[in-house]
Structure 1
């Protein structure tokens, strides 16, 4: 069985318990606004921009 490193929440940097999923943590520990803000900022950072921008 391959080693799987512990999952870390990208919002609060908490290391999750082995039996906890990231989805469960996000739903139980963060508001919709926090998750949306994180996703929007992450999307804006990785979105390629035109040279004219």
Structure 2
């Protein structure tokens, strides 16, 4: 599509474990403020979020 990471307003990264989105941000150089702005899977009821 020709988009760059800077063309995106927010990023939704599915995380089964907490370190996954952090590793993704580091790997692609994304802005942490735009990552999972609605909380991500763990905050929205993923079963591992309660453990």
> Normalized against structure 2, the TM-score is what?
0.26
- Structure number with the bigger relative contact order (C-alpha 8 A, sep ≥ 6) is 2
> Normalized against structure 1, the TM-score is what?
0.25
Larger radius of gyration: 1
